[in-house]
Amino acid sequence: MLYPVKKSITRSLVVCLILCKSIVPSFAQSDFYSLTDTLNKVFTREALPGMSVMLVDSDKIIYQKSFGFADIKNNIRYDANTIQNIGSVSKSLISIAILKCVELKYFTLETDINTILPFKVVNPAHPGDVITVRQLTNHTSGVIDNPAIYPNSYKFYPALRSYDSALLEKIEGMGYQGKVKDTTIKQFFYNYLCEKGKYYSKDNFSANKAGEAYSYSNLGSALAAYLVEIKSGMSYANFTKRYILKPLKMDNSGWFINATNLKKYARLYFDQTADFPLYSLLTYPDGGLRTSANDLGKFLQAVIKGYLGDTALLKRTSFKQLFTPMFTTANAPKNINLQNRNKGVFWNLYGNGTIGLDGDDPGVSSYLFFNPATGKGGLFICNQYLDNKQPIVDLLVEATL
């Protein structure tokens, strides 16, 4: 509210306001100049094609900057509305979907998945095990990614636009050969997990009992999303559209390639001279979200708001459950160091106090996090796989302190 002032003090007040305006924001602005400069140095050193970064709090974008190109050959700049795959950061949406299902009383985190699935999942090394929804969400279920099968579930679309043909041959040599011909998650998981399935193998399972060891599992994550499909009676894509994408107005986000919108899609690069053909994932919930920095920023803001008590996406109790540490020193599974991170429902609870997820795929690196202590968060999306994203992550985390 503005109050009237006497003319005799108006001049001094105006001077004060001008000084305050010039001094306070300039400090913050200088920090952002420094951040941009350092990010640009990392971007140049790593010879990246394109990247977008963003810092937010629950109400606004604090900082946004894009670098390089979405399409080098055609001189199309990478910006905050550029769309691309984000890899395993996609699992952040599975976490919301799972807790929404809990709210809808479809199941709990302790539900035996064999009471939901239309076939039985049995680890041949431990046939008496009960696998729970919780264990799918913290990567201790014993369902693992068989390297002879999982890469073959990726589907490439060389006819949709140009690409580097030598690169396609290279990744085929890495196991991405398109041998899996299933067209639905239901069909694939029957073939992968059921004894009568054509991909069934003991190598699809851990040698450890359920809950005994941490083993990062894309397929365990996608299996959790399949439970959402079964209980909701709709596809996971439609479920997330109804409960996440549409409410948050993430209008440039989705799970499948839109052939009429290809100009908005970043090319995904092996390096600055070679780009991959467009591709999709059969088990798309585990890493197939296509989005932009602006849309992902909306999602991150909603998550921060939820952590602070907002109930637009989930109830308060659900958000609390989402980020409650699952492990203690007394019950920690093998292969996880609690000094580095604990697990919530898919989310990593890092030792530095932040909560987040990272993503990688052919031509993709991404990171999403927030700092509960300050209510600020950040993200970056890059159209090239980055072997070490820590320099960028460290810069963004420092900016949220």
E strands of 285-396, at which residues? 290-291, 341-343, 348-350, 355-361, 364-371, 376-382
Cα separation, 326 vs 345, in Å, equals 8
Q: What is the pLDDT of residue 19?
A: 38
pLDDT value at 342 more than 90: yes
Q: What is the pLDDT of residue 28?
A: 60
401 by Cβ neighbours in 10 Å (0-12 / 13-18 / 19+) ranks as exposed
Cα separation, 183 vs 11, in Å, equals 72
Mean pLDDT of the chain: 93
Query: Span 285-300, mean pLDDT?
Result: 98
Q: What is the pLDDT of residue 14?
A: 37
DSSP state for residue 212 in the 8-state scheme: T
Q: Which residues pair with 380 in a beta bridge?
A: 53, 367
Q: Which residues pair with 365 in a beta bridge?
A: 360, 382
Cα separation, 146 vs 180, in Å, equals 13
Taking only the tens place, the pLDDT of each residue in 204-250 is: 999 999 999 999 999 999 999 999 999 999 999 999 999 999 999 99
> 293-307 and 91-103 are packed helices; what angle lies between their axes, rounded to 10 degrees?
40
Residue 23 — very low, low, confident or very high, per pLDDT cuts 50/70/90? very low
298 by Cβ neighbours in 10 Å (0-12 / 13-18 / 19+) ranks as buried
Cβ–Cβ contacts within 10 Å for residue 352, how many?
A: 12
pLDDT value at 12 more than 90: no
Q: What is the pLDDT of residue 29?
A: 66
Cβ–Cβ contacts within 10 Å for residue 315, how many?
A: 14
Q: Which residues contact 16 (CB under 8 A, 6 or more apart)?
A: none
Query: Span 54-77, mean pLDDT?
Result: 97
Taking only the tens place, the pLDDT of each residue in 114-141 is: 999 999 999 999 999 999 999 999 999 9
Q: What is the pLDDT of residue 260?
A: 80
Q: What is the pLDDT of residue 259?
A: 86
pLDDT value at 22 more than 50: no
Q: What is the pLDDT of residue 31?
A: 85
